[in-house]
Amino acid sequence: MSQGPLKGLKIIEFAGIGPGPFCGMLLSDLGADVIRIDRKGGAPGGSDDVTFRGRRSVALDLKNPKSVELCLSLMATADVVFEGFRPGVMERIGLGPDVALARNPRLVYGRMTGWGQTGPYAMAAGHDINYIAISGALHAMGGRDKPVPPLNVVGDFGGGSLYLALGILAGVLHARETGEGQVIDCAVSDGAASLMSMFYGFKSSGRWKDEREANVLDGAAPFYDVYQCADGKWISLGPIEPQFYALMLEKTGIDDPQFQKQMSREDWPELKEKLAAVIAQKSCAEWCEILDATDACFAPVASLEEAPKHPHNVARETFVDIDGVVQPAPAPRFSATPGAIQGPPPRRGEHNESALSDWGVSAEDIDALKSAGSL
């Protein structure tokens, strides 16, 4: 039995890669009943497919008309369906939004793509790095010499999954209020651009230079960067506000008067060199002992191996171990209706019978689907 604020919400997810599965994970973690439609005959999946956790898998041959009809019947009772194919693929299968909404006018139909359903790039292949490239985000990240891809958290997951989840929930509220479903065109490139809103505002006001390592938040400022310790590990410092900056100077033992010129961009390069020299005199553990949990705006740079063991993360149970796979716990947290990992990543087709039965498909119809080679 699921738990969380989205308990009772029925969602169909057509399996894909990247932002689609992560969105499905977020919705499942918050209690939604998510059936994932997998491709029959594909790879079985495993416990390390973390973003597939918490759903039930039904494996179908979508080239079979009986599979298409089954999907439409499921959509008729669902609150949400979402997919992550190129524009036109679902229409060619016979599962496009027009057909789906004709069956269920209250349905929220989410479409997750890199470029969106329209525009010159709409039909072109791409990946996260390309989507954030045209948003302005990639240009702003990295060193002076070149932009550096920030993993795929800014585009796929930040600009894609989170915006699709937000759009889905907004669509559900609207459908419950009006009885009217709708289509959500969620493009990673749009979401990445939206995430850059503050910086476009800064640029317009003259507070942001359109170049890398030239601004407070992009590694140019000595008080907002990472520094290597004596043991080769790294720490992060971010005391932007004057009182926090003053505390950082006190804790690090810096009394050089040049450091009083905190916002003097001309002094930043030299100040950064001096601060780096100070940090390099002690190990990461020593700096943690001095700076941990203070207002100096400090944290050690934890690796994927170290992060689950950090005392703050341990205290908050930020990570959990499921079948030997350490992974982040559901977020955010709710006081009255806490979310939970609804189950491990399913094997492909693991819930062919149980999930369909729970969603109202009769045993006779399930047997017929099996006989037809659809299931």
Confidence of residue 41 (pLDDT cuts 50, 70, 90): confident
Beta-bridge mates of residue 12: 35, 81
Q: Which of 33, 79, 128, 156 is catalytic?
A: 156
Class of domain 10-195+320-371: alpha beta
**Rounded mean pLDDT of the chain?**
96
Q: What is the pLDDT of residue 45?
A: 79
Q: What is the pLDDT of residue 1?
A: 66
| Predicted pLDDT of residue 71 | 97
- Model confidence at 2, in pLDDT bands (50, 70, 90)? confident
Spatial separation of the C-alpha atoms in residues 193 and 47, rounded to whole Å:
34
**pLDDT at residue 17, rounded to an integer:** 87
Which two three-digit tokens encode residue 167? 């759009």
Percent of the chain with pLDDT over 70: 100
The C-alpha atoms of residue 68 and residue 60 are separated, in whole angstroms, by 9
Check 61, 127, 185, 310 and give the catalytic one.
127
Every domain of the chain and the residues it spans: 10-195+320-371, 225-316
Write the DSSP symbol of residue 61.
-
pLDDT band (50, 70, 90) for residue 44 = confident
Active site annotation includes 127: yes
For 100-152, the pLDDT digits (tens) are: 999 999 999 999 999 999 999 999 999 999 999 999 999 999 999 999 999 99
Give the rounded percent of residues in the chain with a pLDDT score beyond 90.
96
Listed in sequence order, the residues at least 6 apart from 119 whose beta carbon sits closer than 8 Å to its beta carbon are none
> Is the pLDDT score of 47 beyond 90?
no
DSSP codes, 98-157: HHHHHH-TT-EEEEEESS-SSSTTTTS---HHHHHHTTTTGGGSB-SS-B---TTIIIII
Rg of the chain taking only CA atoms, in angstroms: 25
Q: How many CB atoms lie within 10 A of CB 323?
A: 11
> Residues 266-292: what's their mean pLDDT?
98
pLDDT exceeds cutoff 70 at 36? yes
Least Cα distance to 183 among 78, 105, 277, 278 occurs for 105
Residue 40 pLDDT exceeds 70: yes
DSSP string covering 345-358: PPPTTTTHHHHHHH
Q: At a CB cut-off of 8 Å and minimum separation 6, what does 268 contact?
A: 220, 221, 222
The question of whether 310 is a catalytic residue gets the answer: no
Mean pLDDT of 24-42: 95
Residue ranges of alpha helices (H) inside the chain are 19-29, 65-75, 89-93, 97-103, 128-133, 162-178, 188-195, 197-205, 242-252, 268-279, 284-291, 311-316, 352-358, 363-371
Three-class secondary structure of residue 369 per DSSP: helix
The span from the CA of 223 to the CA of 230, in Å, is 19
Average pLDDT over residues 326-345: 97
Write down the CATH superfamily of domain 225-316. Answer: formyl-coa transferase, domain 3 (3.30.1540.10)
pLDDT of amino acid 306: 98
